[in-house]
Structure 1
Amino acid sequence: MNDTTAPAFDRHMLEALVCPVTHTTLSYDAEGQELVSKAAGLAFPIRAGIPIMLIDEARQIKADR
């Protein structure tokens, strides 16, 4: 197994996950490896195929993105 290759994010998880702030749906940004909450203006990182849904770990995004 190649350690530099992270496990892929299971897109079916999107059906079960919601933003911890607004409880709205998330969109998957495959290029940035993030789950994006447009309502909250936050992007939650995906590390080793696991979404990190902690507000302290989220990145603020611009509203116009």
Structure 2
Amino acid sequence: MTVRLDPQLLDILACPSDDHAPLRAGTPADPQADVLTCTACGRGFPVVDGIPVLLLEEASPPLPAGERP
């Protein structure tokens, strides 16, 4: 299922890590995943029932540099 968020909301959401980079819907491997992926560190933040869970404790581990969006 594709992440469906208001485009204006997606424009202002950012990774909660120190770099505060923008987030993109999906993952590099699965653009349809219910995840927001950080464009800098590659962490994946789940989207549960249409609500992004932007907690570092809930994020998937950072992606290696070559696999980041």
Q: CA offsets, 1:28-58, max 9 Å, x none?
A: 1152111101312300000100000000000
Residue of structure 2 in register with 1:35 after alignment: 36
| Structure with greater proportional helix content | 2
- Tell me the SS of whatever aligns to 2:10: helix
Equivalence for 1:20: 16
How does the TM-score come out when normalised to structure 2?
0.71
**Gaps spanning 5+ residues in structure 1: where?**
1-5
Contiguous gaps of at least 5 residues in structure 2: none
Percent of counterpart pairs with the same letter? 29
Provide the alpha-carbon RMSD of the alignment. 1.9
TM-score (norm 1): 0.75
Aligned to 2:51: 50
Secondary structure at the aligned position of 2:4 is classed as: coil
User: 3-state SS of the aligned residue for 2:36?
Assistant: strand
Q: Does residue 10 in structure 1 map to residue 11 in structure 2? A: no
